[in-house]
Amino acid sequence: MTIEHLSSNKSFGGWHKRYSHPSEVLNCNMQFAIYLPPQASEGQAVPVVYWLSGLTCTDENFMQKAGAHRIAAELGIAIVAPDTSPRGDQVANDDGYDLGQGAGFYVNATEAPWNRHYRMYDYVLTELPALIENLFPVSNKRSLAGHSMGGHGALVLALRNPDRYQSVSAFSPISRPTDCPWGEKAFSAYLGDDRSHWEAYDASLLMSGATAFVPALVDQGSADDFLAEQLKPEALVSAAKESGYPLHLNMRDGYDHSYYFIASFIEDHLRFHAAHLV
């Protein structure tokens, strides 16, 4: 596979690197960032946390704002941050920030024109890890984390593929996308009007019926402007009780939806993953 190196920055003894590559799954060029801790330069095959970002973000937001490199270097964990959607002049788009480019929602679109490119579920599940594990000094031990739309994506991928991931965590996830404005808009466009097709991408519905478990950590800020209308963490709590799912959800008093919130608790999340990536 052709892969183009875009930039490198040394950070806490490791390297933050950005790359571009042609994606067969998404039918366009994609960019991703990877943080390789110092241990990766010492002959170790390090485990990977895949970080899925939220609406309007790219691969750059988390790497620049979350302050994750220091603790990842200490723990010997690589972090991979893909873009949030396919990109390019030929890729379908929408004038709204919550549909189209920058808003892939980590689903496999079935409806035209979106189905030509918008298959972020398969990209994160199979194509990107295959590339990472082939080209970089990493192991096949994987965990998922994400924020908002990306928190939704991380939970869904882990819930549907418990054999592929050691753990999953999320900040402010869209917990019930089949019953909130963001999810209803995106799912109706990408998946069509038949709501039964949406259920495969709803973390709360998946968790309520789960029989195979991946340890899950969720942090939610009490001052999040999107809490009641869009995020609905109570649906996750109810689902976990129903199935006995190993979910630990923290309500963080006074925190909002921003990267200040993520930076405040990213160390907790990486240590959580490290405990399961051994």
102-131 CB burial, b ≥16 within 10 A, e <16: bbbbbbbbeeeebeebbbbbbbbbebbbeb
| First-last CA distance in the chain | 30
Say how far apart CA 139 and CA 154 lie, in whole Å: 19
Closest by Cα among 78, 69, 49 to 169: 49
Q: Which of 11, 85, 143, 148 is catalytic?
A: 148
* Helix (H) or strand (E) run with residue 261 in it: helix 259-276
Give CA separation, 275 vs 17, 20, 160, 215, 270, in Å: 25, 31, 22, 10, 9
**Is residue 232 a contact partner of residue 179, using CB atoms and an 8 Å limit?**
yes
- DSSP one-letter code for 26: T
DSSP letters along 166-195, please? S-EEEES----GGGSHHHHHHHHHHH-S-G
Can you give the length of the chain in residues? Answer: 278
Q: Which of 16, 69, 117, 257 is catalytic?
A: 257
CB atoms < 10 A from the CB of 90, how many? 10
257 has catalytic annotation:
yes
89 has catalytic annotation:
no
Burial class (CB in 10 A: 0-12, 13-18, 19+), 244: exposed
Q: Which of 59, 83, 219, 224 is catalytic?
A: 224
147 has catalytic annotation:
no
Catalytic residues, by residue number, are 148, 224, 257
